[in-house]
Amino acid sequence: MSSPKNDQYFSKKPKSELKVRKLFESIRSHTLNLQTSTGVFSPESVDKGTRILIENLILPESYPGMNILEIGAGYGPISIWLEKDYQFQNQINEKNPPIPNIYASEINERAIWLLKRNIITNNCKKITVLKGDFRDHFESLKEKGISFQAIYTNPPLKTGHETMLELFEQAMDLLAPNGFIQYVQMKKLGAPGFLKKLKIIQPDWFFTYVRKKGGYHVILASPTEYEIESKVSSGYF
């Protein structure tokens, strides 16, 4: 059958038989036209956690040269939504705020193939795909002096807390001075415990619940206090 036991969504080369499907997903004012397939994360529909994250994304006001990073982009719902939203802001705002550079890191080759197709189908021009393990891109991003105003992720939970912590530690090191990391995690899959570990790594950072919904926690982590209008569901913790 099409799903070998060891074929995890974060496999570099999924072995399952390729079966492509098309999704049209409306999320927070934009419709995404996405191809997905066997062997990638959440092929049947955009993941519930991803949807809740997108619905609650905090979007920094753009400036020329602003960079955004997504870690573990999969077939692209978050990065593509981001570009579509900044394109829209560029069109409707008379000041034409620039569309940021969006870097989308992904390890699964089948997801990368889909991501590249979805970027074209959705008319995205500002997404750079970082192919491979994020930890392999970290040094070259640092060397090039590329820093990020916002880093988003629906992190690869199944890789375990240790790998996730490594990804977060490296991401933290790539943030621009007033930047932030925003992520989603299911409470029952260890969100409170993972948060405790992040607080140990960065005891001086601010960690804010942006939203708690349907068993998912959307969390914003930043080295400086970040104003989140009325969206905060509970204070600092």
Ligand X SMILES: C[S@@+](CC[C@H](N)C(=O)[O-])C[C@H]1O[C@@H](n2cnc3c(N)ncnc32)[C@H](O)[C@@H]1O
Q: Residues in the site for ligand X, rule: CB under 6 A? A: 9-10, 41-42, 47, 50, 71-74, 77-78, 105-108, 111, 133-135, 154, 156, 159
Q: Which is nearer to ligand X, 164 or 220 (CB)?
A: 164
Q: Which is nearer to ligand X, 134 or 194 (CB)?
A: 134
Measured from each CB, the residue nearest to ligand X is 72
We find the least distance from the C-beta atom of residue 33 to ligand X, in angstroms, to be 15
Closest Cα partner for 57 from 220, 170, 216?
Answer: 220
Q: Residues near 190 by Cβ (< 8 Å), separated by ≥ 6?
A: 157, 161
Tokens 């621009």 locate to: 176
Q: Which is nearer to ligand X, 133 or 169 (CB)?
A: 133
Q: Which is nearer to ligand X, 97 or 166 (CB)?
A: 166
CA distance 174 to 44: 33
Q: Which is nearer to ligand X, 62 or 105 (CB)?
A: 105
CA distance 138 to 133: 9
We find the least distance from the C-beta atom of residue 196 to ligand X, in angstroms, to be 21
**Tokens linked to 64:** 């020329």
Residue type, 161: H
Q: Kindly give the residue spans of alpha helices, DSSP state H, lying in the chain.
A: 48-55, 77-92, 109-121, 134-143, 161-172, 191-201
We find the least distance from the C-beta atom of residue 199 to ligand X, in angstroms, to be 22
We find the least distance from the C-beta atom of residue 91 to ligand X, in angstroms, to be 25
**Tokens linked to 9:** 């969504």
Pairing of strands 20-27, 30-37: antiparallel
We find the least distance from the C-beta atom of residue 32 to ligand X, in angstroms, to be 11
